[in-house]
Amino acid sequence: MASKWWRWQQKSAPYLFISPFFVLFGIFLFYPFLYSFYLSMVQWNGGKTKTFVGMDNFKRVIQDDVFWLTIENGLIIMIIYVPLMLLLATLVAVLLNSNWVKGKGFFRMSLFTPNIMAVVAVAFVFSIMLNGDNGLINVILKQLGLIDVSILWLDSPVWARVSVAAMVFYRWMGYNMILILAGLQSIPKDIYESAYVDGATPFQVLIRITLPLLKKILVFCVILSTLGSFGLFTEPFVLTKGGPLNSTTTPVLLIYQESFTNLNFGYASAIAIMFFFLMMIFTFIQMRVTRDND
Amino acid sequence: MSSAPITATTSPKKSLKPRDLINKGLAYLLLIVITFASLFPLLWMISSSLKERRDIFLNPPMWIPANPQWNNFTQLFTERAFGTVLYNSFFIAILHTVLALFFCTLAGYAFAKYTFKFQGILFGIVLASMMVPSETTIIPMFEIYRSFGLIDNPWGVIVANVASAFGIFFMRQYSAGIHTEMLEASRIDGCSEFRIFTSIVLPNLRPALASLGIITFVNQWNNFLWPLIVLRSPSEQTISLAIRTLESGARTPYELIMAGSVISIIPLLLIVLLFQKQLIGGLMDGAVKG
């Protein structure tokens, strides 16, 4: 009896250990994912009745200018901050990886701090600093004589995107710096030593050795930033409410507004599915492009 | 003339030095400037939280509150139920973290230290589940939650993503480092598999558990979109939601919003100061191994 139980618990242990994941995965991810395909084909205001409408929701999404604007917004916000952020993150990581910089722990910690501060709290302090006439940023720029008229940081389509991008930059620079630093530290030291023995300059070492070896992690950073930009929610939700004129509405914010504000749950589901496939395509393209470069 | 050879031999060394100094000076300048930029918004948040509303927007700016308004903080607790809200936030973040550690370690350890049928496919499913952004399933999830009675229920936030693929992947990497001989020895001693997990595996993974625990706690504390959908009534709100609720009303009480924000980041600042090694170390390990 005991030995039978003994063999059973030994054989079934790994399955029992992984079962919580699969139960939760089934209920809270796989089933909802499949179910969202059904929801995308109904008209539903959140009440009892769902009316099947076939592909109508998708036809509407494809013709919906606001949907494509959200994709455009994601791209523009990405272009504003990603290259600059990764450049600065790489530069700082290289500095913090060199042996002569003092106080590395302090710099690393301070630069990483914005990433773990509550998004809502950071968004509100940004909204106060960027606010109207006497927000801190406008006041400082005026005192420095750089501008005469206040910049409408949150109320003009162009600057609102810059403001959202600036906040994303602020929150994620340190995180990317840490990832890149991890990449740098995994490069064996003797590669550098032999390069310097062969007479390479520090700049050549950076271009020829460090950056190529960092490529994997930089690609990872770019993919994370892409998904992050289109998936932005809290930043525009608090800072700009997606405005002005939807210039900072992201796909996720649109899904939220269409469902929980406008009660078009079916239509919002169709947007969510379009969004999902677009994200898959973006990730796939980025992985392909970087592979072909090799 | 006699001094010429001397300058010729020393100049290469000496000419490098000033340039080096300038470069190093610039490097430090850059580090100091961006460090200041990283911390400044938090300082402005603290400063604004102690001001009267009209003093937040002044030209020239008031850097240090002339007359610290501690009242802003007490008002949140007496009039806006921030005590309840803080309790909710801690309750949700702590329970979520404990459960996440348990489930992720169980699964990560199983994938690292056992060989079993369909292992490859099952782990493939774990990795593939990372590909579905949770934002795309909020609508079906909302309906499922409604039928389970999880709307306006803290458990609705606690169970969401509690066995995350990231956590399983993370614990699998660390579990691989546990010596198999140690596990075999306890098997011979008659320990059941679950007993081995609790008495050998968990103690050995303490550093990894600390890292993943802190990362999970921070993410849950800062979570916004899903709590916004699930927790509808004010008494169930987390602190991030409560700060957002302050915004509604005729005049936005920016001084209260800032005070609430300061309260919400105090636990996070403590984590940065006390556990930065686990936090950053965990992230760096995850990056290189992934």
> Any idea where the domains of chain A sit in the sequence?
66-292
CA-based max dimension of chain A: 88
Q: What is the pLDDT of residue A289?
A: 78
Pick from A20, A170, A275: CB nearest B106: A20
Quote the pLDDT of residue B4.
Answer: 42
The structure tokens 């100094």 sit at B21
Contact check, Cβ <8 Å, A32/B192: no
Cβ neighbours of B229 in A, within 8 Å: 260
Instruction: For chain B, give the percent of residues with pLDDT over 90.
Output: 69
- Residues sharing a CB contact under 8 Å with residue B59, sequence separation 6 or more, in sequence order: A134, A139, A142, A143
CA of B12, closest CA in chain A: separation in Å?
16
Return the SS3 of B222: helix
Alpha carbons A287 and A283: distance in angstroms, whole number: 6
Q: Please name which of B223, B220, B206 lies closest in space to residue B105, comparing C-alpha atoms.
A: B206
Contacts of A169 (CB under 8 A, 6+ apart): A81, A84, A85
Does A183 sit within 8 Å of B288, measured CB to CB? Answer: yes
Given a cut of 80, whether residue B14 has pLDDT beyond it is no
Q: HSE (CB half, 13 Å, CA atoms) of B44?
A: 24
Nearest to B41 among A110, A126, A131 (CB): A126
Handedness of CA B130, B131, B135, B137 (dihedral sign): negative
Per the listing, tokens 């987390």 go with B238
Mean pLDDT for all residues in chain A: 90
- Which tokens hold the place of A81? 């901050």
B260 contacts in chain A (CB < 8 Å): 121
Quickly state the pLDDT bin for B289 (edges 50, 70, 90). low
How many Å apart are CA B177 and CA B206, to the nearest integer? 13
Residue B78 has pLDDT above 90, yes or no: yes
Residue the block writes with tokens 């992201």? A250
How many angstroms away from the CA of A25 is the closest CA of chain B? 8
Report pLDDT digits (tens) over A126-152: 999 998 778 999 999 998 989 888 899
How many angstroms from the chain centroid is the CA of residue A67? Answer: 19
Is A170 in Cβ contact with B136 (below 8 Å)?
A: no
A–B interface: beta-carbon pairs under 8 A: 258
Residues 6+ apart with CB under 8 A from A273: A36, A37, A40, A58, B136
Flag the least confident range among A111-115, B87-91, B189-193. Answer: B189-193
Which own/partner contact pairs does A287-293 have at CB distance under 8 Å and 24+ positions apart?
Answer: A287/A219, A287/A223, A290/A215, A290/A219
Burial of B201 (0-12, 13-18, 19+ CB in 10 A): buried
Question: Given A25, A174, A217, which is nearest B129 (Cβ)?
Answer: A25
Q: Are A233 and A117 in contact (CB under 8 A)?
A: no
Q: Look at residue A206 in the predicted model and tell me its pLDDT.
A: 83
Alpha-helical (H) ranges within chain A are 2-25, 31-39, 56-63, 65-97, 104-116, 119-130, 136-143, 157-185, 189-197, 202-205, 211-230, 234-239, 251-256, 265-292
Is the model's pLDDT at B264 over the cut of 80? yes
Q: Report percent pLDDT > 90 for chain A.
A: 64
Provide Rg for chain A, Cα atoms: 24
Beta-carbon-side half-sphere exposure of residue A195 (alpha carbons within 13 Å): 16
Nearest in space to A122 (alpha carbons), one of B92, B58, B71, B39: B39
Least confident of A192-196, B5-9, B38-42, B62-66: B5-9
Inter-chain residue contact A33 with B137, CB threshold 8 Å: yes
Dihedral angle sign, alpha carbons of residues B94, B96, B100, B102:
positive
CB contact under 8 A, A95 and B30: yes
Residue A51 bridge partners (DSSP):
A43
Chain-wide mean pLDDT for chain B? Answer: 89
Residues of B in contact with A119 (CB under 8 A): 222, 224, 240
Name every chain B residue with its beta carbon within 8 A of the beta carbon of A226: none
Q: Which CATH architecture has domain A66-292?
A: Orthogonal Bundle (1.10)
Q: What digits encode the pLDDT tens for the residues A69-124?
A: 999 999 999 999 999 999 999 999 999 998 888 999 999 999 999 999 999 999 99
Task: Give the ipTM.
Answer: 0.90
Chain A: residue nearest B214 by CA? A116
CB atoms B280 and A15 under 8 Å: no
Residues of A in contact with B103 (CB under 8 A): 20-21, 24
Give the domain ranges of chain B: 4-49, 77-289
Q: B38 and A32: CB-CB below 8 Å? A: no
B36 closest CA partner among A115, A43, A113, A159: A113
Task: Summarize the confidence of residues B85-93 as an average pLDDT.
Answer: 97
Q: Name the residue in chain A with its Cα closest to that of B167.
A: A21
Fold of B77-289: MetI-like fold (1.10.3720)
**CB–CB of B57 and A132 under 8 A?**
yes
Nearest Cβ partner of A21 from B103, B140, B193?
B103
Query: Using an 8 Å Cβ cutoff, are A214 and A82 in contact?
Result: no
Distance, CA of B290 to CA of B286 (rounded, Å): 6
Query: How many whole angstroms separate alpha carbon B80 and alpha carbon B67?
Result: 23
Q: Which residues contact B23 (CB under 8 A, 6 or more apart)?
A: none
pLDDT for the residue B22? 87
pLDDT value of position A2: 62
Whether the pLDDT of residue B6 is over 60: the answer is no
User: Predicted confidence band at B290 (pLDDT cuts at 50, 70, 90)?
Assistant: low
Find the mean pLDDT for residues A7-28: 92
